[in-house]
Amino acid sequence: MSVLWIVIPMALLLAAIGVAAFMWTVKTGQMDDLETPATRILFDDDDVTSPDETDAVP
């Protein structure tokens, strides 16, 4: 029974850290757009040039 005096505060501290981390991610804008990063890989980047094309001498 005395172990509850250790486990309950540790659980509350861990929960508080989790809530603080979630609030930080929301405040910094990491939760603003969840759809675009998932679909960005499906589209081609047409305007990307290779490093050889930018260093070529005409």
- Which pLDDT tens digit goes with each residue over 24-49? 999 998 888 878 878 888 887 776 56
Count other C-beta atoms under 10 Å from residue 14's C-beta: 10
Q: 10 Å Cβ neighbour count for 31?
A: 10
Cβ-contact 3, 9 below 8 angstroms? no
Residue count (the chain): 58
Confidence of residue 51 (pLDDT cuts 50, 70, 90): low
> Tell me, what's the pLDDT at 49?
63
pLDDT for the residue numbered 54: 60
